[in-house]
Amino acid sequence: MLKRTPLFDTHVALGARMVEFGGWEMPVQYGGIMEEHRAVREQAGLFDICHMGRFMVRGEQAEEFLQYVLTCNVATIPFGQASYGLLCQPDGGIVDDVFIYHLLDEFLVVVNASNRDKDWAWLDQHSAGFDVEIEDRSERWAMLALQGPLAQDLLTHAPDSTLGDLAHLPFHGVAMTTVFGFTALIARTGYTGEDGFELFFDAHHAVEAWDALLALGGGGHVQPCGLGARDSLRFEACLPLYGHEISATINPYEARLGWVVKLDKGAFVGHEALAAVRAQGPARRITGFELLGRGVARGDYPVHNLQGEPIGHVTTGMPSPTLGQPLGIALVPSGLSSEGSEFAVIVRGQPVRARAVKMPFYKPRYKKL
């Protein structure tokens, strides 16, 4: 039986097309993916992300514990800031990618919806021997994302709020505030390649908050957005999606996420294997590409070299709404991952020549002070 967020009935009332995603019944689109995609690039879009996991980590050894299970250096995340990190297996494969928020006397770890149960079990398993408490707050808290170039101005003027001037909230900054009359955490984070915010608050305020966010600026400035636009937006910014660019069989260096691996911070799960990969260099690597012939690349399409031999596969592919051309991301031998390299994508049984291009396809417009 599929799980539903507190906003399920609201999505249905708005005419959303509901689909299965990671065990959840979620909106894939409302009016249309292209319309929603453009709204986020040009104005503002609102996403229901209550399906994601929210785990609180606290205790005397909370930082030490997170240092042990994550590849990033948790000790360098200041209070009131968030950071991207990876949970890795001992062999270096990726368990999940997560965001860590440093709050007062505790950390908030946000995980992917499809991995909630698995990540909880992983953290619980590795907490043995640490003076730490882990609390699953996923059902208690709702989580919404307001993304786009108008997000700051619209949210700054939200009624019954003590947000202050959001221009002073730095990229990846997080703060406790009041919005629409209730307490919330606000973070300058997101998954679209645009400036924007994610809001965390008690789940019983979900419908009220959703309606109030859509009404910002007098209404008409914020578009409800589904999973379709979320995927196309993150794709253009080349942000990885679990099960596609990252997985248990893909390590951070293969996924171009070596910058998240801090080998010099000390021991952590996967350290030895990842040190070996870094020393030797990854045998394969994620690369962006453009098709030189007709067709559209889709996830899991085979990739061959120009001699016709299988060498990899497409992780994500689609026509880019912003750039107006079919693009893709593929996992290929490292020698073919550099800009300008050519290979063939098998589209409906036929090879279509492709060329590796610079990533990301769309330059993110994050608000960096």
**Residues making up the binding site for substrate:** 198
Pairing assessment for the beta strands 222-225 and 44-48 based on DSSP bridges? parallel
Which amino acid belongs to residue 311?
I
In sequence order, the 6+-apart residues with CB closer than 8 A to the CB of 349 are none
Binding-site members are 198
113-to-11, 14, 77, 337, 338 alpha-carbon distances in Å:
18, 23, 24, 30, 32
Q: Token pair of 325, please?
A: 């051309």
SS3 state at 251: coil
Q: Convert 347-363 to b/e letters by CB count within 10 Å (16 or more is b).
A: beeebbebebeebebbe
Q: Residue written as tokens 């040190």? A: 275
Q: Token pair of 281, please?
A: 């260099």
Q: In what helix (H) or strand (E) does residue 66 lie, and over which residues does it extend?
A: helix 62-69
Give DSSP secondary structure letters for 328-365.
EEEEEEGGG-STT-EEEEEETTEEEEEEEE-S-SS--B
In sequence order, the 6+-apart residues with CB closer than 8 A to the CB of 334 are 281, 282, 283, 284, 285
**Dihedral sign of CA atoms 239, 245, 249, 252 in order:** negative
**Partner residues linked to 317 by β-bridges:** 328
Which amino acid belongs to residue 176?
M
